[in-house]
Amino acid sequence: MAIIQKSHLGGVFMKKAGIIAGMVIWSLVAVRYICEANEKKSDIFTAFATSNCNYVTGKVIGEGEYSIYGNITDKEYAVKNIMYALGIMNDYNMVSCEEEVYCEKISDNGYVKVQLANRDGNNFLRIMVDLKQNTECLYDYEELVRNIFAAEGIKGNVSIYLEGRIRGALNYEERSYLADRMIKKLDGKIVTESRDNDIFTIYAYTSNIEGYIKSVGRKINVNVTSSYDEAANETVIYLATPINNLDY
C-alpha cells in the first residue's frame, strides 16, 4: 500500500512505499489467522465477563492528525489503501466531498469506517472497527491500526471499547459493584472517579495492560463507565482502554 503525497517541488510520489506494501502483505496474512487465541491479551475480556451483560459488542478506534497533501483523488486513494491494509478489498461504500473522504463496510458481523476529514486546514484520520461478534479479535485489529499509524507517522490515540447491556435501570450500588469487580479482576487501582446518576466513570491503572496515558502525572489505562438507555430500558456498561472518548 502506498499513500500518495505531493512533494514541495510538485508532482506526486509514493511515501514509504516499501514499508506500506510490506505491511499490506502482512495484513493479508494476518486476516487469515486473526482471532487466534492470545492468552496474555485476554485480560479485559475476562474482566468484562464478570459484568454478566446480555449483549456484548466491541470497537477499536484510532484517531490522529495525518499530514497528507493532495486533491480529493489522492485522499480517496489513501483511504482505499487503508481499507486494503485492514483486509477489505471490495464491496465497500465510498463518499467524497471537500470536507471529508471516507470508506465504510457494513456486514452482519460488524462495521468498518476509514475517514479522512479536513478541520481548520488540517487532515485528521479516523479508523473504526465495530464488531458485533468475535470481540476477542479486538486486540488483533488494534495492532493493525497501530501499525498503520506507525507506518504513516500518525501521532494519535488507539482505543479498545467493550460495550454490554443489562435489562433495566441498575441503581448506584449495582453499577458500583459491577465496576469494582471488573477493576479488581484486572488487578487495577482506581486513580479518579465520579459516581452519580448523570456521570458514572472510573479511571484506573493496571500493569496487566500494556500502554497508558497520563493525567495530572498519573497513569491511566482502564476506564469503566455506565449510562442508562431510557428508550431501550437498558443499563449500558463500557470498559475501555486506555480511556472512553465516546459519548455515553
**pLDDT tens string 120-137:** 888 999 999 999 877 878
Residue 243 in contact with residue 213, Cβ under 8 Å?
Answer: yes
The yes-or-no verdict on residue 155 having pLDDT over 50 is: yes
Rama region for 16: left / alpha / beta (φ>0; ψ in -120 to 50; rest): left
The yes-or-no verdict on residue 66 having pLDDT over 50 is: yes
CA proximity to 49, closest of 246, 203, 195, 237: 237
pLDDT-derived band at 248, boundaries 50, 70, 90: low
State residue 41's pLDDT score: 52
Q: Which residue has the cell 463500557?
A: 238
Give the model confidence (pLDDT) of 164-217 as tens digits. 999 999 999 999 999 999 999 999 999 999 998 778 999 999 999 888 999 889
pLDDT-derived band at 55, boundaries 50, 70, 90: confident
Q: Is residue 9 included in any domain, yes or no?
A: no
How many domains would you assign to the chain? 1
Percent of the chain exceeding pLDDT 90 equals: 52
Q: Is residue 2 included in any domain, yes or no?
A: no
Within 8 A by CB and 6+ apart from 227, the residues are: 200, 235, 236, 248
Regarding predicted confidence, which is higher, 2 or 184?
Answer: 184
**3-class DSSP state for residue 208?**
coil
Regarding predicted confidence, which is higher, 91 or 28?
Answer: 91
Q: Is residue 35 included in any domain, yes or no?
A: no
The yes-or-no verdict on residue 36 having pLDDT over 90 is: no
Regarding predicted confidence, which is higher, 180 or 155?
Answer: 180
Regarding predicted confidence, which is higher, 23 or 160?
Answer: 160
Average pLDDT for 17-38: 44
Average pLDDT for 216-238: 94
State residue 32's pLDDT score: 39
Q: Which residue has the cell 449483549?
A: 55
pTM of the model: 0.79
Percent of the chain exceeding pLDDT 70 equals: 83
State residue 133's pLDDT score: 76
DSSP structural state of residue 112: E
Q: Is residue 81 included in any domain, yes or no?
A: yes
* Stated length of the chain: 248
Q: What is the mean pLDDT of the chain?
A: 82
Q: Label residue 58 exposed, middle or buried (CB < 10 Å: 0-12, 13-18, 19+).
A: buried
Q: Is residue 161 included in any domain, yes or no?
A: yes
Q: Is residue 14 included in any domain, yes or no?
A: no
Parent domain of 227: 43-241
Cα 68 to chain centroid, rounded: 21
State residue 139's pLDDT score: 86
Regarding predicted confidence, which is higher, 47 or 219?
Answer: 219
Q: Is residue 19 included in any domain, yes or no?
A: no
